[in-house]
């Protein structure tokens, strides 16, 4: 078995607050640590892992990354920079690079490699949506939950919103117009979890921990008991670079149609890759571009609420033809995801000369942080 040492490029940035800028990498620290690793095992293969979510860099960043490659080339030929290829958009570098789409890989790893159970067939059931808020301090997440609450639309979704440990922050930041008793009513109605065991450190019952659940493991029966996903992505402002995380890939792997609360480029990117994105079933099919067109968060979130409520109504009693069409769509997405990742993983293994066990050995400690 090839010996592998995985390092994280993020750890070598001089200013860690600039986590998506690469102009200030500490080359001396990188050289010291790689030298130490090689002194213990000269044949080890160095995998320097990082999420590079774009394919254009400033001159300062390109210079810094070039210096990383020069350092590694000087020390050992057995290295690769392992990067997220941002949905197939590969950057040009002067050294050894192995591309893996990180968030897609996280879902693929757990479901196809480790065999995590998933929903096997789409079923509309009672027409409800499924919604995971993740880190609630994002305005589009807590703002959407507030709108569901205020519009009496919570009956159209099942959800996890874990903000017991952020109660004061959420109240001050998003509910300044609520009295204490009004916020208590909201909190008691909306702070809930569906898929974490009671003893999980991120469970709302434990108000001393921050929410850090990375999406796995999950209760796959949640997807069997609901009809579609309302996917609350990390980013709702980006127009140019898609921000498609494990939240979306988990829904696709569980054969769910979805409403995407994410950047405007997400849906076009998925379409370009060949995925079906379900706007034809929604009363406001252009909902993804409303925020960037208007810069009006209220209007954008209202369109999501309207689509959710109306889609839920449609799926409460769907026609046989509609059921057949949606099943065809979700099966197509599932199969496309699997084949896409088989190709990506195969190319990665061929490029690096590693075997499939390398994915397991490097993913959990070094790539899963991409999907917080």
- CA 157 to each of CA 225, 230, 247: distance values in angstroms, whole numbers, following the listed order: 11, 9, 16
Q: Are strands 4-8 and 45-50 parallel, antiparallel or unpaired?
A: parallel
Query: What pLDDT was estimated at residue 319?
Result: 95
Judge if 308 and 352 occupy the same domain: no
**Neighbour-count burial for 275-305, b at 16+ CB within 10 Å, e otherwise:** bbbbbebbebeebbbbbeeeeebeebbbbbb
Range of the domain at 286: 129-334
pLDDT of residue 101: 87
Burial class from Cβ neighbours inside 10 Å (0-12, 13-18, 19+) for residue 148 reads buried
Q: What is the pLDDT of residue 19?
A: 64
Residue at 155 is within a domain: yes
Examine residue 122 and state whether it is found in any structural domain, yes or no. Answer: no
Shared-domain flag, residues 229 and 286: yes
> Do 137 and 244 reside in the same domain of the chain?
yes
Q: Is residue 123 part of a domain?
A: no
Structural domain contains residue 77 = yes
Q: Does the residue 118 lie in any domain?
A: no
**Residue 278 placed within a domain:** yes
Say if residue 92 is in the same domain as residue 160: no
φ and ψ at residue 316, rounded to 5 degrees: -70, -35
Average pLDDT, the chain: 87
pLDDT of residue 14: 83
Q: Are 182 and 104 found together in one domain?
A: no
User: For the chain, how many structural domains are there in total?
Assistant: 2
DSSP label at residue 73: H
Q: For residues 136 and 285, state if they share a domain.
A: yes
Instruction: Order the strands of the 157-160 sheet from edge to edge.
Output: 157-160, 129-132, 228-232, 258-261
pLDDT tens for each residue of 43-85: 999 999 876 666 677 888 889 989 999 999 999 999 998 887 6
**Partners of 131 in the β-ladder:** 159, 230
118: Cα within 13 Å, side-chain hemisphere: 25
In a domain, 147, yes or no: yes
Report pTM.
Answer: 0.90
Reading the block at residue 300, the tokens are 């954008």
Structure token pair of residue 347: 């190319």
Is 290 in contact with 296 (CB distance < 8 Å)? yes
In the prediction, which pLDDT does 90 show?
72
Element (H, E) at 286: none
Based on the domain organization, do 322 and 254 belong to the same domain? yes
Same domain, 153 and 293: yes
Cα–Cα dist 95/47, whole Å? 13
Q: What is the pLDDT of residues 321-354, one digit of tens each?
A: 999 999 999 999 999 999 999 999 999 999 999 9
Say whether both 200 and 98 belong to one domain.
Answer: no
Same domain, 61 and 109: yes
Query: Do 175 and 186 contact (CB within 8 A), yes or no?
Result: yes
Q: Is 337 helix (H, G, I), strand (E, B) or coil?
A: helix
Write the DSSP string, 293-330. Answer: HH--HHHHHHHHHHHHHHHHHHHHS--HHHHHHHHHHH
Q: Which pLDDT score is estimated for 208? A: 47
Annotate 174-228 with DSSP letters as a single string.
H-TTS-HHHHHHHHHHH-B-SSS-TTSTTSTT-TTS-----S-S--THHHHS-SE
Q: Under DSSP, is residue 20 helix (H, G, I), strand (E, B) or coil?
A: coil
Residues 147 and 277 in one domain: yes
Tell me which residues of the chain have a pLDDT lower than 50.
Answer: 208-211, 368-372
Length of the chain in terms of residues written:
372
Q: How far is CA 50 from CA 204, 212, 268, in A?
A: 31, 19, 25
Q: So what's the pLDDT on residue 3?
A: 87
The reply to whether 234 and 284 lie within a common domain is: yes
State the pLDDT at residue 286.
96
- Is 124 part of a structural domain of the chain? no
Sign of CA dihedral 201, 203, 208, 214: positive
């Amino acid at each position: 078995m090839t010996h592998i040492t995985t390092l994280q490029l993020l750890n070598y940035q001089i200013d860690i607050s600039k986590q998506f800028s690469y102009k200030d990498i500490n080359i001396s620290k990188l050289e010291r640590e790689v030298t130490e690793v090689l002194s213990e095992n000269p044949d080890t293969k160095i995998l320097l892992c990082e999420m590079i979510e774009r394919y254009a860099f400033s001159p300062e960043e390109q210079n810094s990354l070039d210096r990383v490659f020069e350092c590694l080339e000087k020390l050992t030929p057995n290295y690769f920079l392992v990067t997220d290829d941002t949905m197939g958009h590969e950057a040009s570098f002067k050294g050894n690079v192995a591309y893996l789409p990180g968030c897609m890989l996280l879902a693929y790893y757990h479901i196809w490699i480790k065999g995590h159970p998933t929903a096997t067939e789409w079923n509309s059931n009672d027409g409800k949506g499924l919604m995971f808020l993740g880190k609630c301090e994002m305005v589009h997440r807590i703002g959407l939950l507030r709108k569901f609450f205020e519009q009496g639309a919570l009956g159209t979704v099942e959800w996890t919103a874990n903000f017991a440990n952020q109660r004061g922050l959420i109240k001050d930041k998003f509910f300044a117009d609520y009295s204490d008793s009004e916020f208590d009513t909201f909190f008691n109605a909306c702070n809930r979890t569906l898929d974490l065991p009671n003893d999980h450190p991120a469970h709302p019952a434990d108000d001393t921990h921050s929410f850090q659940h990375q999406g796995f493991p999950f209760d796959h029966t949640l997807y069997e008991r609901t009809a579609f996903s309302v996917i609350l992505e990390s980013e709702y402002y980006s127009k140019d670079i898609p921000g498609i995380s494990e939240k979306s890939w988990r829904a696709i792997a569980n054969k769910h149609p979805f409403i995407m609360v994410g950047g405007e480029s997400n849906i076009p990117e998925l379409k370009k890759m060949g995925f079906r994105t379900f706007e034809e079933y929604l009363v406001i099919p252009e909902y993804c571009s409303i925020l960037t067109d208007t810069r009006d968060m209220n209007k954008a979130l209202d369109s999501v609420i309207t689509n959710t409520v109306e889609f839920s109504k449609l799926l409460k009693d769907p026609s046989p033809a509609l059921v057949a069409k949606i099943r065809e769509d979700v099966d197509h997405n599932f199969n496309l995801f699997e084949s896409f990742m088989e190709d990506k993983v195969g190319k990665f293994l061929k490029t690096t000369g590693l075997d499939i066990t390398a994915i397991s050995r490097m993913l959990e400690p070094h790539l899963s942080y991409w999907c917080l």
